[in-house]
Structure formats: structure tokens, C-alpha cells
Chains A and B, each alone.
Chain A
């Protein structure tokens, strides 16, 4: 079975540009999570969805960040405008009934 698929794997862009990260969860999973990982802060939850509905977005750093889940098989995390401090590895994870989470391999984002 295919796991959680994230794209792109790497993204390098200039400050001020819009960045869109994509995630395809495992089929049948009803929870989807977006995390950010940095050396300084570790793994931080940004937002999570249940049945395509955002449940908790308290971890979204600021209004420059937005996330959508238009259907059960696709989610996006958008940063507009991007800043150097947004550089991190962004992970998407999905789970069934909110228990063990399955992670994608992440998007390594570098903002110059």
C-alpha cells in the first residue's frame, strides 16, 4: 500500500514568494496532520483535520500560513509571503480514528 505522499521533496525559493506544499494521505484515513520540524524547536503541530474539517489550527504561526483539505485524498499547506524563518522540514501525517500516525517523508523548505 502507498504511504503518505508529499510533494515536492525539496523546495528552494526566494523570500516573498508563495510556497505550496502538497499531501496525499493514506486512503481510508480520517485524520490529517501538518507538522514542522526544526533543530531549535523540534516537531511542532501546525494544524490537523478530521474528515476534511480543520479541528485545531492553533499551531499555525501567523496569517501567512494557510491549509486546506478540499477532499479526503488531498491537502495543501500554503505560505504567502514566505520568509527565511519559515525554512524547515514540513511533514504531513495521517491516521485512522486518531491513533498511530503515518508520516510522509517531508518537504525540505529553504527560503533564501
Chain B
């Protein structure tokens, strides 16, 4: 069953701009993860943020988590054409390890 829902479904920006994607979820979580999927490839783990963290950075990525609103956001700064991909948020249930994925945000970065 799907837990996370990403917004927007699609996003088109130019190189150098920032891209922001949002994720909402329904039940309490231990952590929330973001993944990237390039066309025809498997998902690649980007970042994991735990329920007691509010913000986390990794290179050009910044993730925030608001457990009171059950939402998270992924910010990609200074985007590049190579960032073109689908981005998914995923949450494991508190008592397990399998991930529930949203349907993703499709990001297109044009040169």
C-alpha cells in the first residue's frame, strides 16, 4: 500500500535553478528516505532522515522533515541536466523494513 505521496507529479526547470519536491505520508514513521530513478534503471538511495531530525544535507540535496504535518521536502540546488530523473519518497512501517513508495515526481532539467 502506498504511504508517501509526492507533489508535484512533474516539474520542469532550467539548469542552475533549484527544484523542490514534497512528500506527504499518513502514519507515524521511524525514518523517511528519498530515492532517484533514472530512465530504465533501478532506484538509487539519496538520503535518509530519521524521525528525530528536522533537516539533513548531502551535497546539493537538502531534506526537511516535519513530523507534525507528516511531510517532507527535497530541495536540489543549482540543478544540472544530469538531475533529470524521477524522485521518490519512501517510508518503512514502524515495525518492519519494507518501504512504501509514492508514485514519484518526474523532474526535467533543461540546459
B43 and A42 contact, CB distance less than 8 A: no
One digit per residue, 1 when the CB lies within 8 angstroms of any chain A CB and 0 when it does not, for chain B 97-111 equals 111111110000000
One digit per residue, 1 when the CB lies within 8 angstroms of any chain A CB and 0 when it does not, for chain B 6-49 equals 00000000000000000000000001010100001111110010
Q: Give the residues from 52 to 107 in chain A that come closer than 8 angstroms, CB to CB, to chain B.
A: 55-56, 91, 93, 95, 98-106
Counting residue pairs across A and B whose Cβ atoms lie within 8 Å, the total is 49
Selected from B35, B98, B103, the residue in CB contact (under 8 A) with A45 is B98
A42 and B42 contact, CB distance less than 8 A: no
A104 and B42 contact, CB distance less than 8 A: yes
Residues of A within 8 A of B97 (CB): 31, 48, 50, 95, 98-99
A100 and B48 contact, CB distance less than 8 A: yes
**Interface check B59, CB cutoff 8 A:** no
Residues of B within 8 A of A56 (CB): 96, 98
Instruction: For residue B58, give the distance in angstroms from its CB to the closest CB of chain A.
Output: 12
A42-B104, A45-B99 known; A101 vs B45 contact (CB < 8 Å): yes
27 contacts between A and B (CB under 8 A): A31-B97, A33-B98, A33-B99, A42-B2, A42-B101, A42-B102, A43-B88, A43-B101, A45-B98, A45-B99, A48-B97, A48-B98, A50-B97, A56-B98, A93-B42, A93-B43, A95-B97, A98-B92, A99-B31, A100-B45, A100-B48, A101-B45, A102-B45, A103-B35, A103-B43, A103-B44, A104-B42
Instruction: For residue B22, give the distance in angstroms from its CB to the closest CB of chain A.
Output: 17
**Interface magnitude class on chain B:** 20 to 34
A106 and B48 contact, CB distance less than 8 A: no
Instruction: For residue A24, give the distance in angstroms from its CB to the closest CB of chain B.
Output: 13
Residues of A within 8 A of B42 (CB): 4, 91, 93, 103-106
Residues of B within 8 A of A105 (CB): 40-42
Instruction: For residue B88, give the distance in angstroms from its CB to the closest CB of chain A.
Output: 7
In the bound complex, CA of A56 to CA of B43 (Å) = 21
